Structure 1
Amino acid sequence: MRFLFPLFFLIFITITANSQEFNCNVQVMTPQIQGTDRSVYDNLRNSIYEFINNRTWTNYSYKIDERIECSMLITINERISQDEFKGTINLQLRRPIFNTSYNSVLFNYIDKDFQFKYIEFQNLDYADNVFTSNLTAVLAYYCYIFLGLDFDSFSLNGGTPYFEKAQNIVNQAQNAPEKGWKSFESQKNRYWLVENLLNNAYNSVRQASYKYHRLGLDVMYDNVEN
């Protein structure tokens, strides 16, 4: 019996140390694609879900009820080839309001430049500083955007390290053939989103998020109680 507590403690530490950050709802829809096997899209959805929710993205430990609430709705409009797809991503990030059951939407965005290759049952490999595939690069990019916006709402400019990680993905993707990464392709794409978030000219917007959420909504409950 004397070994039971140390064993339990070790298991608890292991689980806590490797806790994941996201509770992300992932959906894959194919409204314009007819006559294809649905299983590839179901497996794609499962692979993306596991990639986002089961991966450790920061050095922080999150309890289950502290995980960041977000959603990704992927709409595939075209199957270019057996393993290449084209569509859009509808992204939403939500933040809880302290001591309430309410959430505040931090981010609501549609990325219309989403083209990627996926082979059914393949592992979605990703490593910082290496461009492995457009699929994992886009997913990791938005995970870091989510983290940056979430941290910004809890501490002043707290999201900067994660925006920098997202910008690093942009830099790694400059030679990628897929759209969305380059400044000259559009005035509204992944390049400009993170570029603006890190631009000092827009710093007041980031500060406003912190003041509105951390100094406003989070303390509103206490003010009502008092």
Structure 2
Amino acid sequence: MKKKMRLKVLLASTATAFLLLSGCQSNQADQTVATYSGGKVTESSFYKELKQSPTTKTMLANMLIYRALNHAYGKSVSTKTVNDAYDSYKQQYGENFDAFLSQNGFSRSSFKESLRTNFLSEVALKKLKRISESQLKAAWKTYQPKVTVQHILTSDEDTAKQVISDLAAGKDFATLAKTDSIDTATKDNGGKISFESNNKTLDATFKDAAYKLKNG
């Protein structure tokens, strides 16, 4: 009888400790992360909002994709390969590199991760699916090499029309880029931008128009 009573006491103590621990964790999870005049934002409410945000869902999806690819094919992509690609972008944009990263929502580390994801994706595609000769020929028809163009990015149509009018009147493209372009990464370099057909940060319409231009 004493053994049974001791067992019950032990179970009761364990349950009490678990409840206390749960309550403690619950309180910790609801700590204040920010305050404002008249109220506060708790961790639980902040996390709830984060989960509902499309940006957060995209971020989570990107994390899963990167980690799955890196786990399966990480040994096939060297750090040097990623660093070389990173340095190429850095050299291309020069002192405007940080502006380029900011405009595209990257930090230096997340941009490297994005580059690595691209390389990992290429490895995965090659390993998972063999490319036929007919597919290669079809891809070759739409393939575009790396091109360098000058562009002026405006925030409204009226400014764009004025720039077109100024160019038609003989004004210098590089000068107009510096005064009228809102692309801080290229405006001080005459609006010059280089890219390849697999570039994901540029609008497809812009790339198509660039490919149709003649040299010079």
TM range (shorter): under 0.3
Question: Which of structures 1 and 2 has the bigger CA Rg?
Answer: 2
Is the helix fraction higher in 1 or 2? Answer: 2
Is the strand fraction higher in 1 or 2? Answer: 1
Q: TM-score, normalised by structure 2?
A: 0.27
Q: TM-score, normalised by structure 1?
A: 0.26
